[in-house]
Each structure stands twice: as C-alpha cells, then as structure tokens.
Structure 1
Amino acid sequence: MRIYLVGGAVRDKLLGRAVTDHDHVVVGARPEDLLAQGYRPVGKDFPVFLHPDTAEEYALARTERKTGHGYHGFAFHADPSVTLEQDLARRDLTINAMAEADDGSLVDPFDGARDLDQRLLRHVSPAFVEDPVRLLRVARFAARFAPLGFRVAPETMTLMQQMVRAGEVDHLVPERVWQETRKALGEAQPSAFLRVLRESAALAVLFPEIDALYGVPQRAEFHPEVDTGVHVEMVLDMAARLAPGNDLVGFCALTHDLGKALTPSDVLPRHVGHEHAGVAPLRTLAARLKVPTEFAALAEQVCREHLNAHRAFELKPATVLRLLSSLDALRRPERLQVFLAACEADKRGRLGHADDDYPQAAYLLQAQQAAAAVHAEPYVAQGLQGPAIGEALAAARVAAIAAVRQSFT
C-alpha cells in the first residue's frame, strides 16, 4: 500500500500558496485494508475514507468510465491494480493531476508543474469532455488564478466549446451550477469566471440573463466602459476587492443590473427604471439555480435600491428610514453591510472610478445606528398606546437620521 498527497494541495504548495485541504490517494489497497487501520468510510459512489487521527480524506485509486450524461453519468472502478497514473489521468486539469510521495518527490505524468510555470489551465486528456462540471471548474479556477496571470489553454477552450455545442452543459443540475458559481464569486477575480464561460458559449446557456448584458450600451458620461457586461465584470472584481471571499456580496454584484438587458433599443443608452425591471429576471435566475433564499432576497434589494443608495444624500430622512426598514437593517445590521458593499462596488466598478470615495456608505451606516438606538420604551412610559407608539418611534428615528445627515454637510 502506497499513499500520495494529490490535487490542490500539491498545486498550491508549488505555487507557494497556503494549503488548506490535504487529499490523498491510496494505491495497492482494498477497503478492508483501510478499515483494519481505523479509517472511517464516507464515500457513497467510490471508496473514500477519513484518517482516524487527522480526518483528512484518503481515496482508493480509481478509474472512471462514462455511462451517461451529466455529472452522475459515470461508473467507477477501484481495486489494488489501479495505478497512481491511472487515477491522476481522470482529473480535470494538469495542475490538479500531480502527486507527492512520502519522500517529497513529485509525480507529474501530465506536466502540471510546467503548466504552473506557464500559467496555463490545460486539460489532462480528451476525457475532459465527458463531465460538464469540468467546464465550470475551469472557469472557477480562472477566477482564482487570474491575478497570477493564468489563462485557459487554447486547446482546452476548444474542447469546452465542443461540450457546449454537444449539449453536455444542458445536463448540469442546478445545484452543481450554483455550487461552482458561489465558489467563483468568492474568488479574487470573479470576472474571469464570466469571461471563460462567455468565450466557451456556456454563459448563454447557464446564465442567459447575464449574457444578455454584453453589448448593451450605457451613457458614456456615467459609464466610460459603456458596455453593460463589461461593467458587471468590473463590479464583480470591485466587490471582491471590497469584501474578499464574500460570495453573497458577489451575487448581489453579479445581478444588480439585469434590467438593463430589457431596456428598449429606442431608449438606449439611457436605462430609466432598470432597477425595477431587473427584479423579474433576477427571480427567474434565482429560481432556476435554486439560489438560497437570503442570497435571492438581498440581491433583489440591491437590484431595486442601488440607485437610492447612490443618491442617499438627496433622500429625505423618512425615505432613508424606509430603505433601512426594507432591508430589516435595524434588527439585522449585517444585511446593510452586504447591501452597501454591493452598492459601492457598483459605483466604483466603472472605468476610471475604481478609487472614488463613497461617503454614502458611512452616512447610511451611521443613519442605521442612530435609528436603531431609538426604542419604544420612553413612549410606552408616556402612556402612548397602539399605533401612536409606532408613529412616535418613526418620528424620532427620522429626526435621528436627519441629525446624522446634518453632520455630513
């Protein structure tokens, strides 16, 4: 029995990145061999075990054979005769198909180390086309490693385009699309996720609401980048800069301008009412991908209210209170934090505006704090009852917000 460290741990060690997950492949063993040593079985489709002390994953070397469409259309074979190279051959990218032996030596049958040096995301074998999830994974790895200069190898992009034409992407289950998308939205450069999907033609299949934004013009005096799709890419990357790793902010950024794809051509490049028009396609996208409720709800708030955030200083204090209440921000201030991060990303995700100030965020945060500090007890003590308490509470909160507004003038 021989044990190797494999996959992302080896890749990240070579890149000098922090290693968080340690996965291992066991060659020359049977399930009973690991069970006898105290390993705990967890794999449903193939033999995967947890180490009795570290709880790290140890999988028996295996091969796979395509039996149908989609992610689940595979049959797996694991026994002591399967070699390490055969196990590595079933992986998606060469940079993920390396192993490290106990003595620290590198096992690299597909030149993954070379591709790391050349900053290439390249498929291991033609079997890449058999699993549509790999297309999403390549796009996600592009989002992670784009800041290091990584790009998709031309021959791999050709295979991805073939997969889309063959309809393989149509068989992706919503849960897996969302899982990979959510991870990509938490990466360092999420715009690369969109660009890879778009170049492969998968964006139009998986995210038609996003794909429709490309080529839609905006007013150049407000959006020097002009193209709405490019703007969304810039907003995504600004969101990653403002809230690193926050996929909720990322999803709000991704979907905030969906209404611009619905603007009639005779109105362009103006987008009057786009914030309200975007709610319907956002709900369609969220339902199709089974997006978690909190993601869908906050994204809808950003879509509908981001312009109000931008013009916060122009809003009446009573309108600011209604905005805060619609976010449930008086009880859940963390929702306001997400909302403002997405709105600031929108404002600064424009060509030449990346370093702009966004004082609206500080104002709305202080307005929330001032309003939340007003409680009902004094009005109850005064003898007010029923609706009168609510009216007095609202008036006091409006006054508190007005005082905050004065401090910003």
Structure 2
Amino acid sequence: MQTYLVGGAVRDKLLGLRVKDRDWVVVGATPEQMLAKGFTQVGSDFPVFLHPKTHEEYALARTERKQGHGYHGFSVYSAPDVTLEEDLLRRDLTINAMARSEEGELTDPFNGRKDLEARELRHVSEAFKEDPLRILRTARFSARFQPLGFGVCTETMALMRAMVADDEVEHLVAERVWQEIQRAIHELSPCTFFQVLRDCDALTVLIPELTPDAEFSAAMDALQRVHVQEGSTAERFAALLAPLDELTCMARAKALKAPNDCQQLARLVAGCISVIRQLHSTQPDAGTLLELLEKVDVWRRPERFSQLVNVLECTLPNSDQAQLAPLKAAADAASGVDPQALIKQGFAGKELGGAIRAERLARISQAVSR
C-alpha cells in the first residue's frame, strides 16, 4: 500500500503558490484495509476515505470508463491492482495529473511539469472528451492562472470545440454548470472563463444571449468592474446578465439554477437599467422613482439596494451614471418616513399604507427638486 499527494496540491507547490487543500491517492489498498487503519469512508460512487486525524481525503486508485452522456455516464473500477499511472490517466489536464510520494519523489507520466513551465493547459488523453464538465473546468483554470500567463493549448481547444459540436455540453446538468460558474466568477480573471467558453462555442449552449459581440463586451466590462470591487456572488452574476432585458435575464438565471438571491438581484438590475435610462437628471419623476424603490423593496431590504447600486455603477455607461444620483436621493428621503408617527395621527389599515406612500412621494418630490 502506497500513498501519494496528487492534483492541485502538487501543481500549486511547483508553481510556488500556497497549497490550500491536499488530496491523496492510495495504491494497492482495499476498503477494508483503510477502515482498519481508522479511516472513515465517505464515497458512495467510489471509495473515498477521511484521515482519522487530518480529515483530508484519501481515494483508492481507480479507473473510469464512459457508458453514457454527461457527467454521470461513467463506470468506476477501484481495486488494489490499479496503478498510480492508470489513476492519473483519468484526470483532466496534465498539470493536474502529477503525484508526489511521501518521500518527495515526483511522478509525472504526462509531462505536466513541462506544461507548467510552458504555461499551457493541455488535456491528458482523448478520454478528456468523455466528460463535458471538463470544458468548464479548463475554462475555470484558465481564469485562475491567466495572470500567470496560462492559456489553453491549440490541441485542447480543438478538442473542446469538437465536444461542443457533438452536443456533449447539452447533457450537462444545470446544477453542475452553476457550481463551475459560481467558482469561476471569483477567480483571479473571471472574464477569461467566459472568453474560453466563447472561443470553444460552449457559451452558445450555456448562455447564448451573451454570445453577440455587443452583449459579451458589455457583460465582461461590468463583471470586471464588480470583480475589482470584490463584489459578492450575486453582484457578479447580476453584472454578467446586466446587458439582457428583464424577461430574458429572468429566464436565463432560472435555467442556470442560480440561487434565489442571485436571480433576484440580476432581475432587479436588468429591470432598473431600462427605467434609469428614462430618468431625466434635471427633473426626475418622483412617482417613477418611488415605484422603482418599491420594486427593490428598499425599506425591508436596504442591503439589496446597496448591492443594486453597486452593480448599476459598474454597469451603466458614463452617460447614464448621473441618473443614479436622484435614485439615491429618493431612497434616502423616503427612508425617513416614520410609520409610527402616522399611526399616532390615527392612520390604520389601508389608510396607513396610503399615508406612508403619500409621505414618501412628497419627500422624494422635495428631494429631487432641489
């Protein structure tokens, strides 16, 4: 029984980066032997165990064979006779297919170290095309390592295009796509993720509304600005879909199975952009501003209003930025209405709601007419 450090930990160590997580492969062992050593089994599809002290993952060496479409179409074989090289062969990229023994010896059967030095993302074998999720993973690694000069090699890009042409991307489940997008938009160069998907035609399948030049450029500009400001996942996602109209934005966010907070903020941004562009900075309409604030639910969700403004500041062109000033002024003015004071004046029920709205409208009118 031999244990090897594999994957990202080996790669990042060679790149001089901080190693965050460590994964291990165990060759020549059985589940019974692992359990006898105090490991806890957690894998259902294949044997994965947690170390009794470090709680790091130790997987028995395995091979995979394609049996159907998509991410789940594989049969897994794990047994003591599976070699380290056979386990590494099933991995996606050469830079992720290296291992280091407990004594420090590097095993690199697919020249991953050479590709690290050349700054190339290269598939390990033709088996890459059996899992369409690897297209997204390759794009995500591009987004992570682009600042270091990495790019997808010509052969791998050609293989990814062939996979898209063969409709493999159509079989990806939305939940897995969202997981990759969520991670990618927080990488060092999030726009690179979508550029790679566009280059291999996968974006046409996953987010076709962003493939035209104008929409893609606007989305990338907005995403980059939010990224520089270290925006939240919801803010980054809303910026990504900001070039779309509200109905299209809602449909795509739902299709991607984005979390509710991401869907809601994306919808609000898309809906607000068209309204804001209609506002006149000299004499903005108080009623329109109030309706917009009500749609945002600024009084119960002030934090979401802040997110909305952040994304709009990153999305709207300079010519429309001035329209945000009356919106902010309206929010500040209307937030000063005290329902308790109106209750003391005798308002209740529907009359109270009407009085609150009327007071908010009056305050907004005063604030924006100054």
TM-score normalised by length of structure 1: 0.81
- Which residue number corresponds to residue 251 of structure 1? 237
Pairs within 5 Å for 1:124-203: 124-203=124-203
Deviation (angstroms), 1:386: 2.5
Of 270, 289, 296, the residue aligned with 1:303 is: 270
Change (3 A) 1:313 1:23: farther
- Which residue number corresponds to residue 294 of structure 1? 261
Deviation (angstroms), 1:329: 2.2
Equivalent position amino acid for 1:377 in 2: Q
Equivalent position amino acid for 1:228 in 2: E
- Which residue number corresponds to residue 41 of structure 1? 41
Q: Distance in 1 between matches of 2:51 and 2:322?
A: 51
- Which residue number corresponds to residue 11 of structure 1? 11
Equivalent position amino acid for 2:251 in 1: T
- Which residue number corresponds to residue 78 of structure 1? 78
Change (3 A) 1:307 1:67: same
- Which residue number corresponds to residue 392 of structure 1? 355
Q: Distance in 1 between matches of 2:94 and 2:199?
A: 21
* Residues 242 and 345, structure 1, Cα contact 8 Å, conserved in 2: no
Deviation (angstroms), 1:343: 1.4
**2:223 aligned counterpart, secondary structure:** helix
Q: Distance in 2 between matches of 1:360 and 1:8?
A: 47
**1:65 aligned counterpart, secondary structure:** strand
- Which residue number corresponds to residue 264 of structure 1? none
* Residues 233 and 262, structure 2, Cα contact 8 Å, conserved in 1: no
- Which residue number corresponds to residue 218 of structure 1? none
**2:253 aligned counterpart, secondary structure:** helix
- Which residue number corresponds to residue 298 of structure 2? 329
* Residues 188 and 241, structure 1, Cα contact 8 Å, conserved in 2: no
Pairs within 5 Å for 1:194-343: 194-211=194-211, 213-214=212-213, 227-244=214-231, 246-258=232-244, 278-309=245-276, 313=281, 315-343=284-312
Q: Distance in 1 between matches of 2:25 and 2:289?
A: 57
* Residues 329 and 368, structure 2, Cα contact 8 Å, conserved in 1: no
Deviation (angstroms), 1:134: 0.4
Q: Distance in 2 between matches of 1:378 and 1:12?
A: 61
Deviation (angstroms), 1:45: 0.7
Q: Distance in 1 between matches of 2:137 and 2:280?
A: 39
Q: Distance in 2 between matches of 1:5 and 1:170?
A: 34
Q: Distance in 2 between matches of 1:205 and 1:32?
A: 44
Q: Distance in 2 between matches of 1:294 and 1:15?
A: 36
- What per-residue deviation string (whole Å, max 9, x for no partner) do you get for residues 330-358 of structure 1? 2122212322222122136xxxx7xx996
Deviation (angstroms), 1:42: 1.2
Deviation (angstroms), 1:325: 2.0
Structure 2 unaligned blocks of 5 or more: none
Equivalent position amino acid for 2:227 in 1: A
- What per-residue deviation string (whole Å, max 9, x for no partner) do you get for residues 287-339 of structure 1? 43333333222211111112445658553444333322211222122212322
Q: Which moved more, 1:336-345 or 1:309-318?
A: 309-318
**2:65 aligned counterpart, secondary structure:** strand
Q: Distance in 2 between matches of 1:359 and 1:16?
A: 45
* Residues 189 and 236, structure 1, Cα contact 8 Å, conserved in 2: no
Q: Distance in 2 between matches of 1:98 and 1:252?
A: 37
- Which residue number corresponds to residue 114 of structure 1? 114
Q: Distance in 2 between matches of 1:304 and 1:198?
A: 26
Deviation (angstroms), 1:366: 6.5
Task: Kindly tell me the number of residue pairs found equivalent between the two proteins.
Answer: 368
Q: Distance in 1 between matches of 2:107 and 2:40?
A: 27
Deviation (angstroms), 1:47: 0.5
Change (3 A) 1:161 1:307: same
Structure 1 unaligned blocks of 5 or more: 215-226, 259-277
Q: Distance in 2 between matches of 1:395 and 1:192?
A: 48
Change (3 A) 1:159 1:392: same
* Residues 235 and 346, structure 1, Cα contact 8 Å, conserved in 2: yes
TM-score normalised by length of structure 2: 0.89
Change (3 A) 1:230 1:173: same
- What per-residue deviation string (whole Å, max 9, x for no partner) do you get for residues 213-266 of structure 1? 22xxxxxxxxxxxx332222222222211234x3222221121212xxxxxxxx
* Residues 25 and 60, structure 1, Cα contact 8 Å, conserved in 2: yes
Q: Distance in 1 between matches of 2:306 and 2:347?
A: 34
Change (3 A) 1:40 1:357: farther
Deviation (angstroms), 1:367: 5.0
Q: Distance in 2 between matches of 1:99 and 1:308?
A: 55
Change (3 A) 1:394 1:96: same
Deviation (angstroms), 1:44: 1.4
Q: Which moved more, 1:333-342 or 1:364-373?
A: 364-373
RMSD: 2.6
Equivalent position amino acid for 1:167 in 2: D
Equivalent position amino acid for 1:249 in 2: E
Deviation (angstroms), 1:5: 2.0
Equivalent position amino acid for 1:66 in 2: K
* Residues 243 and 341, structure 1, Cα contact 8 Å, conserved in 2: no
